[in-house]
């Protein structure tokens, strides 16, 4: 160890953090990473994203269940503290020596065994000593958080309005300050505090929902304890644990590799920003702990190959944990819905400011010089504040957050976990779902159903009978196939279930390898363990979706097992130092590499073109039945064929070269993966909702089409091929102009393979993505990514998958959807996780649409009374000299109390019956607030409510001796009417206007809760699928607010409110029923004439 100290000291000098004046890059997609400079002798940590956006096809950035962080330089004292923390982190990292120690010494220091791992007692003691493998919670910025509670949304406007009204009371209101202005200011401050409390509650509620979602996605890792492989939550691993990592796994902690496959590679982009995968080794490749390849870092992913390592650091002691202490949370971008709401608020604010300016201009240019006593400065300020508060929908921010949180919670109950509220928003506009097949549309429970050796085909049961009769004979062909199935296989049987039937034994590995391994063990119990004990693996190339094959090379350690693996002649000639190369993969890849095949009697013969045609026909037969077909082949490498040392690059290159020619085809196996029982109904429902489903799979085209037909994805009798896609537009075909229209879907089916996709030009892609039924076969991760991007040109795309090869496309899709049974890397890359099955996607799409629908309902409900009907009393007063028929105080009560509660309750509305029978929303064209909604809210409901409220108020004055003719352009009380009497009656008329709006809004609430369906089709009570009980407490709350402010005697003289005659409670009921009936007639006309002008104007 003394020899290592100078190197370590030198390393300490080379580790440096970014200087304060270095330019920082931009955060990529809200998930930053630390970027290092690529060098052999230095490492620098710089600000997130300085290398620009990483292509998802190359890097698989982390999206969930990892600590996200961003190093930020600050000024003054914070800068000095950060520098000290950085220097300490650099020194701590330089002191780490695990990578320089031999693997046996690492085991000794941690008192563990590579073969048996820790004992249960050791693990318990280390949990007590080291704690759990979780990072310390990040420091919260309380001031910033509390500031946001008070001032996000419209809090700032409320506070400014309160201050202005206070000023209007005193000093501007002196010498006779109006107490009503003081009351109004107090109410505005109270609303300001209440909305802050609502924001706190929503933040707490949302954090609870998202925390519960995280808890439902525990990180699992494969650990060896007490000599047995087991799965444990990542937070339970401790230093000294021996962990097995396979493709798709995330490293739960920092580990020292002790065994690696030759092709193992890791994606370290979450820490380094490097898009190039990093190879894993057993020996250290650099004295720098962060640069060496024999250390696996927490949070990174294994993207191919496999390895075994010993945990050397957990929690805050990992590199991930150390750096996280230096960082702050990343800033988040605006979501699409937030942009829509901002767009709406900007429109409303512009309109509001315009109206305020108009009022001020009229007052300054005409009223002030001509009628100076009509509206004084304090009254003008109060009126302007009232207009501002009236136009701003105070209930909208609460309704938005509540709606998204409620929906995420409801989806969670249906086992649909959204990692962010943005996902909920986007789901409503999904028009294309690109779905992986294995484990998504199918059960992922593969079994080997058939096999073929030479001219002989047999079922799995017949193969078992063959082994039972002839299994021990030399060169038995089924025995040879069994040996290839057991040896060329990355799966492992759980030793703890050795006494269980093979169908019930747990298998560690992917579905395909597991099916073939079960087949080998099914042929003869114990044969897998026996064969693997007789052959020592010298090389492995894991299966990946690019190569589409797997290689393992072996040296024999027990000659008595050779006759069960090879033909009689090969057994006789097999030398002590000969090697056995085994390979398994797709027939399209391996068939051309084979020159011989094993015959039905256990010998080998030349693989002639006729025999290749036979195997090709057999493959097509299995594929047409929806079965996956694989070739198992081998090659004996005589002594001297490969001279390089095992484990070297030369050895690997030699093996790969030998695998390209002269293979012996041992046999074919057909694997069946049953379709999920509910898939047909899911596909039917999604298609009825206007959502196209494209199958994207690695299977052969025949297999893919057969399964797609079974699932209902393909229904057309004839299936097109790439030959049906013209390479260039037909100049005489005017329909080409419409190709970019995403609604122009071609009612036909097509199937393409991966290689065919790469030959398509832009025009062909445009035609392809318009097909209603599409199957993509034999695709690679890059091709899946290309498919998603092409669909995204004119569609909102969801991608489902569960494997490593799905991660890039999951990341690139508008909504990435992973299954809870999928790989860690798939769930990391996805935006949403389906815990149970693919059928949950129907619920996700449904509630995604409901969120958007309910927000439109909230806005449609708030606008008529909350802005339109409140603005006109002020404008009529300024422009026509009328008394302000609705007081500023009562305006605030409507906006902030009576309407706000009911609007929030609309977020609980259930899906309308037609939500999954109409086309998806076009995110580029369908705005949250469009001209149809404005027309309905202002031009119809708003006009009716305003006209009837004006009528009731001035009619009341008319009946009480104050004719309208004396008020029109009167600019003050009539001279012949007592001032106190006039004031009393105007206050009563104002209260009538208020009651009229409050009561009519109850019926507007019932009308706006459905966009197209009648209240009888979607009743609010006594129907579990449609009821919303929360509406009625909201109505009672608004009634209570009206009674509170109108009927408490102590408040009446202060606020200028009064009780209203009893008939003016019943009149608005009649008006409300009229409004509801009118809306019912509109909805009936829309359903009766869906192409009519009312349907086109429907919101």
Contact, 425 vs 341, CB < 8 A?
A: no
Give me the residue label for tokens 């302007």: 384
CATH of domain 147-208+335-412+845-1096: 1.20.1110.10
Q: Cα torsion for 303, 502, 706, 621, to the nearest 10°? A: 110
> Between 36 and 752, whose confidence is greater?
752
- Per-residue pLDDT band for 185 (boundaries 50, 70, 90) equals confident
What burial class does residue 526 get, using C-beta atoms within 10 Å of its C-beta: 0-12 exposed, 13-18 middle, 19+ buried? exposed
Residue 272 neighbours by CB under 8 Å, 6+ apart:
33, 34, 35, 36, 290
pLDDT tens figures, 688-718: 999 999 999 888 899 899 999 999 999 999 9
* Token reading at 1030: 């929360």
Least confident of 11-20, 151-160, 560-569: 11-20
pLDDT at 573 (0 to 100):
92
User: What SS3 string covers 589-641?
Assistant: HHHHHEEEEECCCCCEEECCHHHHHHHHHHHHHHHHCCCEEEEEEEEEECCCC
pLDDT at 323 (0 to 100):
64
Taking 70 as the threshold, does the pLDDT of residue 92 lie above it?
A: no
Taking 60 as the threshold, does the pLDDT of residue 14 lie above it?
A: no
pLDDT tens figures, 497-508: 777 888 888 888
> Between 354 and 579, whose confidence is greater?
579
Residues designated catalytic: 436
pLDDT tens figures, 284-299: 888 888 788 899 988 8
pLDDT at 590 (0 to 100):
94
pLDDT at 329 (0 to 100):
42
Is 535 strand, coil or helix?
strand
Mean pLDDT value of segment 947-956: 96
Sheet holding 220-225, edge to edge: 228-233, 220-225, 242-246, 306-313, 254-260, 295-296
Mean pLDDT value of segment 585-609: 94
- Per-residue pLDDT band for 15 (boundaries 50, 70, 90) equals very low
- Per-residue pLDDT band for 460 (boundaries 50, 70, 90) equals very high
CA–CA distance, 725 with 742 (Å, rounded to integer): 17
Average pLDDT, the chain: 82
What is the CB neighbour count within 10 angstroms for residue 500? 12
What burial class does residue 323 get, using C-beta atoms within 10 Å of its C-beta: 0-12 exposed, 13-18 middle, 19+ buried? buried
Beta strand ranges found along 692-745 (DSSP E): 692-696, 719-720
Taking 50 as the threshold, does the pLDDT of residue 48 lie above it?
A: no
> Between 398 and 292, whose confidence is greater?
292
> Which superfamily is assigned to 447-672 in CATH?
Calcium-transporting ATPase, cytoplasmic domain N (3.40.1110.10)
pLDDT at 183 (0 to 100):
82
CATH of domain 416-442+675-835: 3.40.50.1000
pLDDT at 24 (0 to 100):
31
pLDDT at 228 (0 to 100):
87
> Between 894 and 1099, whose confidence is greater?
894
pLDDT at 275 (0 to 100):
54
- Per-residue pLDDT band for 802 (boundaries 50, 70, 90) equals confident
Is 1049 strand, coil or helix?
coil
pLDDT tens figures, 197-238: 877 776 776 666 556 655 555 578 889 999 888 888 888 999
CATH class of 4-133+237-324: mainly beta
CATH 2.70.150.10 residue ranges of the chain are 4-133+237-324
Mean pLDDT value of segment 1013-1020: 91
Contact, 630 vs 658, CB < 8 A?
A: no
- Greatest Cα pair distance in the chain: 129
How large is the C-alpha radius of gyration of the chain? 36
CA–CA distance, 82 with 88 (Å, rounded to integer): 10
DSSP letters along 361-380, please? HHIIIIIHHH-TTTS-HHHH
pLDDT at 501 (0 to 100):
85
What is the CB neighbour count within 10 angstroms for residue 617? 10
The total number of residues shown for the chain amounts to: 1099
- Per-residue pLDDT band for 531 (boundaries 50, 70, 90) equals very high
* Token reading at 560: 């008595």
Is 584 strand, coil or helix?
strand
pLDDT tens figures, 609-661: 999 999 999 999 999 888 989 999 999 999 999 999 887 889 989 999 999 99
pLDDT at 212 (0 to 100):
60
pLDDT tens figures, 651-684: 989 999 999 999 999 999 999 988 888 899 999 9
CA–CA distance, 455 with 611 (Å, rounded to integer): 9
Mean pLDDT value of segment 974-994: 92
CA–CA distance, 502 with 389 (Å, rounded to integer): 71
Give the CB-side neighbour count of residue 54, counting CA atoms within 13 A.
31
pLDDT at 738 (0 to 100):
45
* Token reading at 241: 């644990």
Taking 90 as the threshold, does the pLDDT of residue 338 lie above it?
A: no
The pTM of the full predicted model, rounded to 2 decimals, is: 0.71
Contact, 860 vs 936, CB < 8 A?
A: yes
Helices 869-880 and 336-362 pack at an angle, to 10 degrees, of: 20
CATH 3.40.50.1000 residue ranges of the chain are 416-442+675-835
Residue 938 neighbours by CB under 8 Å, 6+ apart:
863, 864, 868
Element counts in the chain: helices (H) and strands (E): 41, 31
Taking 80 as the threshold, does the pLDDT of residue 327 lie above it?
A: no
Taking 80 as the threshold, does the pLDDT of residue 420 lie above it?
A: no
pLDDT tens figures, 267-280: 776 666 555 678 89
CATH 3.40.1110.10 residue ranges of the chain are 447-672
* Token reading at 80: 């000095």
pLDDT at 764 (0 to 100):
92
Cα-Cα-Cα-Cα dihedral sign, residues 20, 26, 32, 36: negative
Taking 80 as the threshold, does the pLDDT of residue 724 lie above it?
A: yes
CATH 1.20.1110.10 residue ranges of the chain are 147-208+335-412+845-1096
pLDDT at 616 (0 to 100):
94
Give me the residue label for tokens 């092709």: 263
- Per-residue pLDDT band for 180 (boundaries 50, 70, 90) equals confident
CA–CA distance, 947 with 964 (Å, rounded to integer): 15
């Amino acid at each position: 160890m003394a020899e290592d100290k100078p190197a370590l000291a030198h390393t300490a000098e080379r580790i440096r953090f970014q200087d304060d004046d270095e330019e920082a890059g931009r955060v990529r997609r809200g998930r930053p990473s630390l970027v290092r400079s690529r060098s052999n002798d230095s490492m620098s940590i710089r600000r997130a994203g300085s290398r620009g956006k990483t292509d998802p096809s190359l890097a698989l950035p982390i999206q969930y269940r990892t600590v996200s962080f961003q190093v930020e330089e600050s000024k003054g004292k914070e800068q000095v503290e950060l520098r000290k923390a950085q220097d300490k982190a650099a020194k701590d990292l330089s002191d780490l020596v695990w990578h320089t120690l031999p693997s046996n010494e690492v085991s000794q220091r941690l008192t563990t065994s590579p073969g048996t791992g820790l004992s249960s007692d050791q693990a318990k003691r280390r949990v007590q000593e080291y704690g759990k493998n979780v990072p310390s919670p990040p420091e919260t910025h309380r001031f910033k958080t509390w500031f946001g509670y008070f001032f996000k949304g419209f809090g700032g406007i409320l506070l400014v309005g309160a201050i202005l009204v206070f000023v209007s009371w005193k000093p501007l209101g002196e010498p006779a300050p109006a107490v009503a202005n003081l009351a109004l200011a107090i109410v505005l401050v109270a609303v300001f505090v209440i909305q802050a409390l609502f924001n706190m509650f929503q933040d707490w509620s949302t954090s609870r929902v998202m925390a519960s979602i995280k808890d439902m996605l525990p990180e699992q890792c494969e650990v060896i304890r007490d000599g047995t492989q087991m799965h444990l939550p990542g937070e339970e691993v401790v230093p000294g644990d021996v962990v097995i990592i396979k493709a798709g796994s995330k490293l739960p902690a920092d580990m020292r590799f002790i065994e690696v496959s030759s092709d193992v590679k890791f994606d370290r982009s979450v820490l380094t920003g490097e898009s190039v995968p990093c190879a894993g080794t057993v020996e250290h490749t650099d004295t720098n702990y962060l640069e060496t390849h024999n250390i696996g870092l927490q949070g990174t992913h294994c993207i191919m190959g496999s390895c075994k390592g010993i945990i050397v650091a957990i929690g805050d002691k990992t590199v991930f944990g150390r750096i996280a202490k230096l960082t702050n949370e990343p800033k988040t971008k605006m979501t699409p819905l937030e942009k829509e709401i901002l767009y709406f608020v900007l429109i409303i604010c512009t309109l509001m400011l315009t109206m305020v300016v108009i009022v001020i201009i009229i007052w300054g240019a005409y009223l002030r010089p001509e009628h100076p006593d009509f509206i004084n400065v304090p009254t003008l300020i109060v009126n302007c504040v009232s207009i501002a508060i009236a136009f701003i929908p105070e209930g909208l921010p609460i309704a938005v957050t509540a709606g998204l949180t409620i929906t995420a919670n409801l989806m969670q109950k249906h086992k649909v976990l959204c990692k962010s509220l943005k996902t909920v928003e986007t789901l409503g506009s999904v028009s294309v779902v690109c779905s992986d097949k294995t484990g998504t549309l199918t059960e992922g429970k593969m079994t080997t159903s058939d096999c073929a050796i030479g001219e002989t085909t047999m079922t799995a049961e017949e193969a078992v009978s063959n082994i039972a009769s002839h299994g021990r004979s030399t060169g038995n062909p089924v025995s040879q196939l069994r040996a290839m199935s057991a040896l060329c296989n990355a799966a492992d049987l759980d030793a703890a279930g050795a006494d269980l039937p093979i169908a019930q034994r747990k298998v560690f590995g992917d579905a395909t390898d597991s099916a073939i391994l079960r087949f080998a063990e099914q042929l003869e119990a114990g044969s897998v363990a026996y064969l693997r004990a007789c052959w020592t693996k010298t090389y492995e190339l894991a299966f990946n979706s690019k190569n589409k094959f797997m290689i393992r090379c072996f040296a024999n350690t027990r000659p008595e097992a050779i006759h069960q693996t090879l033909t009689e002649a090969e057994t006789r000639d097999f030398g002590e130092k000969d090697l056995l190369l085994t390979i398994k993969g797709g027939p399209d890849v391996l068939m051309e590499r084979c020159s011989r095949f094993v015959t039905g009697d256990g010998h080998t013969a030349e693989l002639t073109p006729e025999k290749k045609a036979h195997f090709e026909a057999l493959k097509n037969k299995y594929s047409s039945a929806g079965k996956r077909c694989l070739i198992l082949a081998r090659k004996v490498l005589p002594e001297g064929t490969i001279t390089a040392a095992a484990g070297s690059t030369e050895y690997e290159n030699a093996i790969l070269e030998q695998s390209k020619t002269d293979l012996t085809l041992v046999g074919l196996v057909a694997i069946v993966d049953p379709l999920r029982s509910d898939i047909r109904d899911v596909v039917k429902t999604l298609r009825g909702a206007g959502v196209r489903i494209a199958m994207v799979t690695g299977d052969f085209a025949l297999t893919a089409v057969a399964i797609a037909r079974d699932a209902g994805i393909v229904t057309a009798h004839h299936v097109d091929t790439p030959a049906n896609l013209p390479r260039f537009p037909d100049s005489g075909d005017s329909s080409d102009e419409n190709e970019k229209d995403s609604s122009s879907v071609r009612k036909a089916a097509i199937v393409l393979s991966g290689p065919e996709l790469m030959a398509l030009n832009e025009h062909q892609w445009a035609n392809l993505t318009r097909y209603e039924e599409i199957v993509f076969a034999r695709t690679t991760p890059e091709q899946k990514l290309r498919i998603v991007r092409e669909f995204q040109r004119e569609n909102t795309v969801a991608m489902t998958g569960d494997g490593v090869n799905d991660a890039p496309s999951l990341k690139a899709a508008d909504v990435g959807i992973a299954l809870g049974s999928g790989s860690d890397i798939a769930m990391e890359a996805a935006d949403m996780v389906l815990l149970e099955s693919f059928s949950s996607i129907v619920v996700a799409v449904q509630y995604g649409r409901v969120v958007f629908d309910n927000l439109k309902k909230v806005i449609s409900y708030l606008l008529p009374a909350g802005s339109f009907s409140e603005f006109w009393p002020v404008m009529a007063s300024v422009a026509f000299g009328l008394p302000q028929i609705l007081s500023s105080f009562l305006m605030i009560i409507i906006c902030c109390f009576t309407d706000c509660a009911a609007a929030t309750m609309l977020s609980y509305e259930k899906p309308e019956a037609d939500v999954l029978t109409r086309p998806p929303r076009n995110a580029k064209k369908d705005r949250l607030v469009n001209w149809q909604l404005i027309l309905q809210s202002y031009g119809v409901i708003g006009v009716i409510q305003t006209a009837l409220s004006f009528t009731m108020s001035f009619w009341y004055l008319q009946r009480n001796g104050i004719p309208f003719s004396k008020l029109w352009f009167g600019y003050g009380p009539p001279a012949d009417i007592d001032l106190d009497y006039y004031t009393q009656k105007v206050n009563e008329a104002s209260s009538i206007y208020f009651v009229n709006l409050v009561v009519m809004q109850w019926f507007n609430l019932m009308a706006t809760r459905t966009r197209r369906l009648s209240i009888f089709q979607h009743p609010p009570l006594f129907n579990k699928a449609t009821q919303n009980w929360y509406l009625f407490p909201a109505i009672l709350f608004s009634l209570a607010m009206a009674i509170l402010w109108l009927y408490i005697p102590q408040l009446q003289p202060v606020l200028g409110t009064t009780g209203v005659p009893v008939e003016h409670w019943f009149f608005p009921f009649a008006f409300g029923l009229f409004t509801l009936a009118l809306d019912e007639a509109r909805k009936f006309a829309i359903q009766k004439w869906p192409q009519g002008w009312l349907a086109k104007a429907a919101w």
